[in-house]
Amino acid sequence: MTQEHTAETVTVAADARDTGIRRGPGSVRGWRSGAWRRGIVLALAALAVTLVMALHSHIPNAFGNVGSLAETFLPWLGLAVPVILVLALVRRSALALVALVLPVAVWLNLFGGLVVSKEAAGGDFTVATHNVNAENADPAGTAADLTRSGADVVALEELTPAALPTYEKGLAGTYKYHAVEGTVGLWSKYPMTGTRAVDIRIGWKRAMRSLIDTPHGQVAVYVAHLPSVRVKVHAGFTAGQRDDSANALGAAIAAERQSRVVLLGDLNGTMNDRSLVGVTAQMRSTQGAAGDGYGFSWPAAFPMARIDQIMVRGVDPKSSWTLPATGSDHLPIAARVRL
């Protein structure tokens, strides 16, 4: 082989190596050089999720109550993170991976505290609430389940005239005192006084208040079932009637003279929903203060939102939890507080 031919071979080999490093689709330098250019759409998606979570209170409710709808299912936006993560890895996009830091940070700031248990020992008063569902096919079984909850006070919503005698019979052995106002009722182990309906502006009785004489002093207990909400194609999130009722309920609680107040019921809204601020601004959620996890209560088959609430004012929440499913489409929830 001539010297000229050898030099030419070496030059070709060097060119081949150089070409593979700079232009080869599987080369390290090729991956690095494109990692910051690929995945722009994924990075924008991560930014959009971040903005919705961080600025949810600024999403207007003017059309279809879109803001309240987004706030109802706000924690679920976190599911966008693993989806974008997988797609970013498939696309080998460093840009998208870095952009994911934003939604992760915002989600942890908003909901990370719910992942960690805040339950504490103690408490001297246990309460429970359950939307029993007007179409519940097993009211006797539901009543039996609730008696096993260990609650001192049980609130029921969506009672019907046909099912009420069954609940009264099933709960009588554990709860000596009870009262019913329209479609809501309250059962207690301790004497009840000052029981009355609370007007929440819907034309019939779906809220009540009673003073419970516990061994640790009196506590005002409210039971409420706010109007249902629906998502319709042409009307959006139809929550106007619920919002008016929430404001009326908030006004009633604000006027309550007892320093210790407990609210039990189906509010058809989450603590994130700005439209419930008339109530949420003056009371604490037991789930947020002393829960373990999200405590989603609806729908029972696959809980996606906590629209059933136990809220307190002037008492100290110690623990909060969901109870096993009954014949209802809601899960019962319970909490233990210190009076």
The DSSP line for 215-254 is TTEEEEEEEEEPPP-EEETTTEEE-HHHHHHHHHHHHHHH
For the chain, list the domains and their CATH numbers.
36-115 (no CATH), 125-338 (3.60.10.10)
Residues 6 or more apart in contact with residue 56 via CB below 8 angstroms: 67, 70, 71, 74, 272
With the C-alpha atoms ordered 259, 260, 265, 268, is the resulting torsion angle positive or negative? Answer: positive
Report d(CA 64, CA 68) in Å as an integer: 9
Report d(CA 235, CA 98) in Å as an integer: 38
Is residue 190 within 8 Å of residue 215, measured between CB atoms?
Answer: yes
Report d(CA 224, CA 1) in Å as an integer: 97
Residuewise pLDDT in 10s, the chain (339 residues): 554 454 444 444 444 444 444 444 445 555 555 778 889 999 999 999 999 999 999 998 877 778 888 888 999 999 999 999 999 999 999 999 999 999 999 999 999 988 889 999 999 999 999 999 999 999 999 999 999 999 999 999 999 999 999 999 999 999 999 999 999 999 999 999 999 999 999 989 999 999 999 999 999 999 999 998 876 555 456 577 889 999 999 999 999 999 999 999 999 999 999 999 999 999 999 999 999 999 999 999 999 999 999 999 999 999 999 999 999 999 999 999 999
Residue 149 has, within 13 A of its CA and on its CB side, a CA count of 36
Residues composing the chain: 339
Angle separating helix axes 101-115 and 80-91, nearest 10 degrees = 150
The amino acid at residue 163 is A
Residue 215 has, within 13 A of its CA and on its CB side, a CA count of 6
**Pairing assessment for the beta strands 207-214 and 192-197 based on DSSP bridges:** antiparallel
Find out whether the peptide bond into 165 is cis, omega within 30 degrees of 0.
no
Q: What's the pLDDT score for residue 175?
A: 98
Cβ-based neighbour number of residue 187 at 10 Å = 27
The amino acid at residue 60 is P
Report d(CA 73, CA 63) in Å as an integer: 18
Is residue 158 within 8 Å of residue 133, measured between CB atoms?
Answer: yes
With the C-alpha atoms ordered 272, 278, 284, 285, is the resulting torsion angle positive or negative? Answer: negative
Cβ-based neighbour number of residue 79 at 10 Å = 11
Predicted TM-score of the model (pTM): 0.85
